[in-house]
């Protein structure tokens, strides 16, 4: 093999960690600016961008042929309509829309996917797979991620900063878990956790994820105890391992999607991390868990 065709050596673990840290700090700077300026619309815009960009990445991963592309267009149209409606509602009403928005997105995706199938000859389970992948894409990239916007207006008052700090708590616990898993895995990782899905993940990294997520929860509860209501110390510390477990599930879920489509990263938007889905995969699973937990303790 010539030097021109030889594969480039993989980047060092130190370089990958530095790139991940840089990308994470940029995101934190945006979130912090939104909090300091009390600009909820900035976080809504950021959430909407990630939601749409994640949907684009997902449907691009599943783009196989022209017929599959028709389903992609349906899924992306629903995603854009969802975030346009969500943004308009929170900007005008200063609160999250009713749950009918998620039900409308889900119902439209099911109806639309079947309608598209009527135009062509059926291809057995391939046709069903196209229907399922289209509907799953709406749930995975739109409905799940939309809970972040709902958390921002959890108490129904768009001028109350509580929603912003609930989102910060969610992001901190989730992303500290991600960083802890990576750092502990790099330094101590020797025992593979699920090598057939994610060869890089180790049991030592799993321990690190729980340790750092717990640390993030303690920092937030000490820093802003009043702003995190209805969370108190008890619920905040109980939530840390729950969100950590949900985040790990979300990370592994994206690994399943990438392995099934033979893709290493969902994109290249963030150095050292990959694409939008590589950055938000854990949040897709922790956001709805966090929201329903808050609903349960607030009932």
Residue 50 pLDDT: 87
- Torsion of Cα atoms, 162 then 222 then 18 then 284, to 10°: -40
Measure the CA–CA gap between 223 and 283, rounded to whole angstroms.
22
- 103 CB-contact burial (10 Å; exposed 0-12 / middle 13-18 / buried 19+): exposed
Helix (H) or strand (E) segment spanning residue 96:
none
**pLDDT tens sequence across 224-267:** 898 898 999 999 999 999 999 999 999 999 889 888 877 765 55
Kindly state the tokens that stand for 5.
């065709």
Residue 227 pLDDT: 87
Q: Which letter, b or e, does each residue of 55-94 get, where b requires 16 or more Cβ atoms within 10 Å of its Cβ? A: bbbbbbbbeeeebbebbbebbbebbbebbeebbebbeeee
Higher pLDDT: 240 or 44? It is: 240
CB-based contact 142:78 (threshold 8 Å): yes
Residues whose CB falls within 8 Å of the CB of residue 116, separated by 6 or more in sequence, listed in order? 70, 71, 74
pTM of the model: 0.87
CB-based contact 252:198 (threshold 8 Å): yes
Say which residue the tokens 């010539």 belong to: 2
Residue 271 pLDDT: 47
Sign for the CA dihedral angle at 86, 92, 94, 97 comes to negative
Higher pLDDT: 218 or 175? It is: 218
Higher pLDDT: 293 or 3? It is: 293
Residue 12 pLDDT: 57
Most distant CA pair in the chain: distance in Å?
67
Residue 295 pLDDT: 93
Domain ranges for the chain, please list them. Answer: 15-31+40-298
**pLDDT tens sequence across 187-204:** 898 899 999 898 888 999
Reduced to 3 states (helix: H, G, I; strand: E, B; else coil), residue 115 is: helix
**pLDDT tops 60 at residue 67:** no
**pLDDT tops 90 at residue 294:** yes
Measure the CA–CA gap between 75 and 88, rounded to whole angstroms.
20
Residues whose CB falls within 8 Å of the CB of residue 275, separated by 6 or more in sequence, listed in order? 57, 265, 266, 267, 268, 269
- Torsion of Cα atoms, 99 then 100 then 106 then 112, to 10°: -160
Least confident segment among 23-27, 100-104, 153-157, 257-261: 23-27
Measure the CA–CA gap between 199 and 181, rounded to whole angstroms.
13
Mean pLDDT, the chain, integer: 83
**How large is the average pLDDT for residues 20-36?**
67
């Amino acid at each position: 093999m010539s030097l021109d065709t030889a594969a480039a050596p993989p980047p060092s673990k130190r370089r990958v960690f530095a790139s991940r840290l840089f990308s994470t700090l940029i995101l934190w700077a945006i979130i912090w600016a939104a909090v300091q300026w009390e600009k909820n619309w900035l976080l809504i815009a950021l959430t909407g961008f990630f939601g749409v960009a994640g949907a684009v990445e997902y449907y691009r991963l599943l783009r196989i042929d022209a017929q599959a592309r028709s389903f992609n267009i349906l899924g992306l149209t629903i995603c854009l309509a969802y975030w346009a409606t969500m943004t308009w509602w929170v900007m005008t009403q200063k609160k999250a829309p009713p749950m009918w928005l998620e039900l409308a997105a889900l119902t439209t995706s099911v109806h639309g996917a079947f309608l598209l199938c009527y135009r062509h000859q059926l291809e057995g389970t391939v046709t069903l797979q196209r229907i399922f992948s289209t509907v799953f894409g709406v749930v995975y990239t739109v409905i799940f991620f939309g809970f972040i916007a709902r958390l921002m207006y959890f108490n129904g008052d768009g001028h109350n900063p509580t929603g912003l700090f609930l989102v910060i708590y969610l992001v901190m616990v989730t992303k500290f878990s991600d960083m802890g898993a990576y750092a502990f895995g790099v330094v101590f990782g020797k025992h593979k956790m699920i090598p057939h899905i994610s060869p890089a993940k180790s049991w030592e990294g799993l321990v690190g994820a729980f340790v750092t997520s717990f640390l993030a929860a303690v920092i937030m509860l000490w820093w802003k105890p009043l702003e995190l209501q209805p969370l108190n110390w008890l619920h905040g510390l109980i939530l840390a391992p729950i969100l950590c477990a949900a985040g790990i599930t979300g990370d592994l879920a994206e690994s399943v999607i990438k392995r099934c489509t033979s893709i290493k990263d969902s994109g290249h938007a963030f150095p050292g991390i990959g694409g939008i889905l590589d950055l938000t995969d854990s949040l897709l699973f922790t956001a709805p868990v966090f929201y329903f937990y808050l609903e349960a303790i607030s009932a």
